[in-house]
Structure 1
Amino acid sequence: MAANRRRPTVLAAACATAVTLGATALAATSASAAEVPLKGYELTWGIKESYRTYVTGTAAGAFTPAGGATQAEGNGVFTFVDGTGSYDSEAHTVALGFEGSLGIVSKAHGFELSLSDLKFDSRAATITADVTRASATRQDVPLAEVTVTRTMADMPTRLTKEAGDVFGSASYTGAAGDPLTVVEKKTGSPTPTPPSGTPTNTPSTAPSTTPPATPSSTPSPSTDPTGSTSPKPSPTEAATKGRISYGTLGWGVKQSFRTYVVDGVAKGKVTVSGGAAQASGNGVFTFPDATGTYDTDADTLKASFKGSVNFKGHEDNGGYGLDLTLSDLKAEIDGGSGKLTADVDSLGEKSGDVTLAELGPKSADLTAKDDVITVGGVTATLTEAGAKAFGGFYRAGAELDPVDLAVALTEDAELPDADPASGGGTGGTGGSTGDTAGGTTGETTGGAGTTGSTTGDVAGSLASTGSDVPVGALGAAAAVTVAAGAGVVFAVRRRRMTDAARA
């Protein structure tokens, strides 16, 4: 790969971004030629898979659909029925309300609530529901923002602050929810449908297979989703899917973790290898040599990256209480969601393809410019499996450092500047300014370290022990953690340390 492939590229503006224009009431209004009544729709949404797993697993609770609502087998997604509402043929938006309710109960964790009167509004790009708890009902609570698409199938969702309150965890705020699908339930004779090119008021809002449109208000099929008359790209243009030529992934894991290892009580070091590099100042990591596939029509990307990063700390007699290696990183993007996996080696215990984080791209559209796909500032939310990889100290739902992807589709394409010395990968956040002994490669070693305050994603009270101290990442070697004044006292199993040193 040529060393000078650094021409800046940017992700093209998304053609299907939903614009929030405020809540739209479903109540009947005065008759208007622009409004077409709708009925017989279904809404399918799972809220969030990890939440369903928590309710029926750790919380030993249950979901109880009623009033026509159902749940798919295997603790699956929920479907609400008999959707009615209207289609605005001038604004090209739909507003639908659905029958059915969902009870959510856990005696073990002491919560009981129900969701009912679910509504989907494509103009506001939201899902709302009435939430009942302790006999009190809050109406039209916004649970998720929706990236509305023309087909209204598998639309990416992002949970709101109110959803975090309803489902009992602030970590859900801004987290990727399950995809949402709104479809017409086919019964009897089909309703008339508009041409496949019917545009929308908000990009990709009104589906081509749903609301009937009147001849006087139905725009030309050549009109694009933004309402302009520019023609869509011809299907004879260059291929939109294929194999990745090369690329990089920029990710810092978690800034507070890097600080803890290098500058905190761990008094340790960070080592990159296999082609990976680290930005100066204990910054983020860059993993090179991407291989994989892309499909910009389907908005999917699957890429594997070379290189590894090792975190060591709490040295005792030549062994380490913390010895964690992440390698063979893989990023998968599917519209507005995705996942980040890695092989994990913690104190000699290896696990392959661990899903460390759920990814949330800023846009559901995957676009190539100058034969490069750039996806920057992707949010990364720690999964249950990722929490286990860190020994259970960080809670699932904790925010990790953002992920930046840049992949070339041809050998001659030039990637954005990914020089780690410039401050971090392909645009990620930088680290602390602790002592470094390796520059952009090799090791980063720490000094005496400082202490700070913890944040809400830490499962424990460590007010005086350093920021986000990931004690659980020490694995079996750290049996006891004690918050004591200015530091953390670790009781280390000497025999395990000796074994590690011999290895």
Structure 2
Amino acid sequence: MSARRRRSLALAAAVATAAALGATAAPSASAAEIPLNGYELTWGIKASYRTYVATYAKGSFTPAAGASQAENNGAFTFTGGTGTYDSTTHAMALGFQGELTITSEAHGFRIGLSDLKFDSGKGEITADVERDGTTQDDVPLATVTVTRAMTDMATTLTEEAGDVFGSATYAGAEGDQLTVVKKTDPEPEPSATEPATTPPASPTAEPQPTGSATPTATPSATASPTTQAPTPTPSAGASETTAPAAKGEIADGTLGWGVKQSFRAYVVGPVAKGKVTASGGATQAGGNGGFTFTGATGTYDTEAGTLQAVYQGAVNFKGHEHDGAHSLDLTLSDLRIDLGQGKGTLSADVADHGETTQDVVLAELSAPSAALTAKDDVITLDAVNATLTEAGAKAFGGFYAAGAELDPLSLAVALTEGAELPSGSDGSGGGDGTDGSGTGNGGTDASGSTAGGAGSTIGGGLGGSLASTGSDVPAGALGAAAGMAVAAGAGVVLALRRRRATAE
């Protein structure tokens, strides 16, 4: 009798012929595997990657053979999933139909993905990857935080994914959420004598060993499949039972932004020989990384797709010391984000040697999606592109031209008190985020070292974004000043002072 208790109800229903084997032998490994079919997998890889392909790379995504893409450059769905469910370990292994071809006119690449597989036991997504006429089977693209409901599961891109999609910064980066669902109705079991064994399709809600008790409680022997289908929904999590208001005031929030990677490298490099200091609620990531601003206040409206948030904290860039004074002394504070339908602006109070101009619009913003979706009472936006404005170019003293790409932003706002904000990214594409000192000193950032005094970074991209346009090297005054410094030492100080005097 104890051996029969160890058999799951799902096994007894799906393998009816096992009754002939009797209860004297334990089920074999093969007998514990229940065949599955009719599943769909939806995953967008990474929103910022899709934006990069469709815009900067002048490329496209072409799904085929059972795969499809959502509107507005959305996520991809692969169909016809088949595989097995192990009733002993409660793990699912599924393979899906569909192919996805990714091409770029501007950069000349072509990537083919096929034979996507999801393994809940290993917690990973794999695919066959075709590049340059050769195919590599079962390449691990992401690890998955598997949940019982198997909807909106968090994913983390692998080192192999970074190689496939062309940027090492993707390794360990947050990918799009993953959903695996059974789309076809479960086939009715004719065994009316054992109504308790009717939920053989319940593995859709049982990817983890801890979920083994759930299917026995949710189905009803007398209920029709139509009434049974919604029952797994409440088990997705108690935190989703109360939805936040569609609009209201922001309770808290964080903003990750690195300003511009090449500018940070220039300030602490051998030309400016300066330092970067974060204060007042802002911190800087280790290795001269990006910044995190905190204590957001403002308003949101998810129905209208609008968000206004003001963040605490300041960051100061100081360099070119001469006779105890610094020719470069720039402070950004009181950062404000204004978004509407995925477009908007980044403003800040800008202090040049203590003289402050309020609410300078530094950048125009473009989010990967126009929608503002709250999860666990938190709205999160990642990979928000930032483009320098005319006013922003003036604030940086003409170091960069209007239209230059700044580091991308990531932000999160809490809609209710106590809502847990994600640890997030500093938006720099570099640094480990472990250094809360907020200070970067010259010569400490190997990845952001300068070459030729022009502020260009060695081995560094634009904040880790594939959307880099090559504008990392400061233009105009910065390039000239750096060259003067190499040739004449303190000449850069005089040039910067003259530029400041002219501006005044």
Tell me whether the two structures share a fold, i.e. TM-score over 0.5: yes
C-alpha displacement of 1:35: 2.0
Which runs of structure 2 are paired with 1:173-184 in the superposition (5 Å)? 173-184=171-182
The corresponding residue for 1:119 is 117
Give how far 1:107 is off.
Answer: 4.2
The alignment status of 1:328 with 2:332, answered yes or no, reads: no
Structure 2 matches for 1:321-400, cutoff 5 A? 323=330, 325-328=332-335, 343-344=347-348, 350-351=361-362, 354=365, 384-385=385-386
Q: Aligned partners of 2:494, 2:200: CA distance in 1, in Å?
A: 70
Structure 2 counterpart SS, 1:171: helix
Bigger relative contact order, structure 1 or 2, given CA contacts below 8 A and separation 6+? 1
| Runs of at least 5 residues in structure 2 that lack an aligned partner in the other structure | 1-27, 190-198, 222-230, 301-307, 338-344, 370-374, 419-432, 463-470
Q: Which residue of 2 aligns with 1:478?
A: 478
Q: Structure 1 residues 100 and 261 mapped into 2: Cα distance closer, same or farther (>3 Å)?
A: same
Given candidates 87, 90, 93, the residue that maps to 1:89 is: 87
- Using a 3 Å threshold, how does the CA distance of structure 1 residues 482 and 55 change in structure 2: closer, same or farther? farther
TM-score, normalization: structure 2? 0.55
Deviations 1:401-420 (A, max 9, x none): x999999947xxxxxxxxxx
Aligned length: 393
Deviation at 1:311, TM superposition (A): 2.9
SS at the partner of 2:347? strand
State how far apart, in whole Å, the 2-side matches of 1:483 and 1:501 are: 21
Residues 288-319 of structure 1, C-alpha deviation per residue, up to 9 Å, x if partnerless?
Answer: 6454799xxxxxxx985324334355699x99
* TM-aligned CA deviation for residue 43 of structure 1: 1.1
Q: Distance in 2 between matches of 1:36 and 1:203?
A: 18
150-159 vs 462-471, greater mean Cα deviation? 462-471
In the TM superposition, residue 117 of structure 1 has moved relative to its aligned partner by: 0.3
- Within the candidate set 90, 99, 102, 1:101 is matched to 99
1:204-224, Cα deviation, whole Å (9 max, x unpaired): 799979x9999xxxxxx9xxx
C-alpha root-mean-square deviation of aligned residues, in Å? 6.3
Choose from 462, 475, 486 the match for 2:451.
462
Percent sequence identity over aligned pairs: 43
Matched residue, 1:71: 69
| Alignment of 1:430 onto 2:437 | yes
Secondary structure of the corresponding residue to residue 155 of structure 1:
coil
Quote how far apart the aligned CAs of 1:138 are: 0.5
Asked if 2 retains the 8 angstrom alpha-carbon contact of 1:151 and 1:206, the reply is no
Check 1:351–1:105 CA distance in 2 against 1; reply closer, same or farther (3 A cut). Answer: same
Deviation at 1:97, TM superposition (A): 0.4
**Matches of 2:487 and 2:443, distance apart in 1:** 9
Q: 1:177 aligns to what SS in structure 2? A: coil
Mapped to 2, the partners of 1:122 and 1:103 lie a distance apart of 25
* Cα distance in 1 between the residues matched to 2:209 and 2:136: 28
1:90 and 1:430, CA in 2 relative to 1: closer, same or farther beyond 3 A? Answer: same
Distance 1:193 1:493 in 2: 79
Q: Shift in Å at residue 266 of structure 1? A: 2.6
Instruction: Give matches, 1:22-171, under 5 Å.
Output: 32-171=30-169
1:113-149 residue CA offsets vs partner (Å, 9 max, x unmatched):
2111000111111110001122211000001111112
User: What is the CA–CA distance in structure 2 between the aligned matches of 1:352 and 1:202, rounded to whole Å?
Assistant: 49
Does the 8 Å contact 1:464/1:483 carry over to 2? yes
The one-character-per-residue Cα deviations of 1:49-100 (angstroms, maximum 9, x if unpaired) are 2222222222222222111211222222211111111122221221110111
For the 8 Å contact 1:35–1:87, the answer to whether it is kept is yes
Tell me, yes or no, if the aligned pair for 2:240 and 2:376 is still in contact at 8 Å.
Answer: no
Q: What is the rounded CA distance, in whole Å, between the counterparts of 2:444 and 2:274 in structure 1?
A: 15
Which protein has the larger Cα radius of gyration, Structure 1 or Structure 2? 2
Residue 150 of structure 1 contacts residue 204 of structure 1 at CA under 8 Å; is this kept in 2? yes
1:261 matched to which residue of 2? 267
Asked if the contact 2:335–2:349 (Cα under 8 Å) also holds between the matched residues in 1, the reply is no
Distance 1:112 1:123 in 2: 31
- Code of the residue aligned with 1:327 in structure 2: it is D
Q: Which residue number in structure 2 is paired with residue 22 of structure 1?
A: none
Matches of 1:327 and 1:356, distance apart in 2: 21
Q: CA deviation at 1:488?
A: 11
Mapped contact 1:42–1:185 kept (Cα < 8 A): yes
Q: Which residue of 2 aligns with 1:440?
A: none
In 1, Cα distance between equivalents of 2:181 and 2:204 = 18
What are the ranges of 5 or more consecutive residues in structure 1 without an aligned counterpart? 1-29, 215-220, 226-231, 295-301, 331-340, 359-364, 368-372, 411-425, 435-448
Secondary structure, in 3 states, of the residue corresponding to 1:131? strand
Rounded to whole Å, the distance in 2 between the matches of 1:82 and 1:104 is: 21
1-structure distance, mates of 2:240, 2:101: 47
For 1:325 and 1:472, the matched residues in 2 are separated by 20
SS in 2 for 1:163: helix
Q: For 2:444 and 2:250, how far apart are their aligned partners in 1?
A: 44
SS at match of 2:57: coil
* CA pair 428-103 structure 1, distance change in 2 beyond 3 A: same
Q: Is the 8 A contact 2:157 2:175 kept in 1?
A: yes
Offset of residue 497 of structure 1:
7.0
Cα–Cα, structure 1 residues 328 and 450, in superposed 2: closer, same or farther, change >3 Å?
Answer: closer
Q: 1:454, 1:466 within 8 Å by CA — same for their partners in 2?
A: no
Q: 1:308 aligns to what?
A: 314
**Counterparts of 2:126 and 2:61, CA distance in 1:** 19
SS in structure 2 at match of 1:261: helix
Q: Structure 1 residues 240 and 428 mapped into 2: Cα distance closer, same or farther (>3 Å)?
A: farther
SS state at 2:169 partner = helix
Amino acid at match of 1:68: G
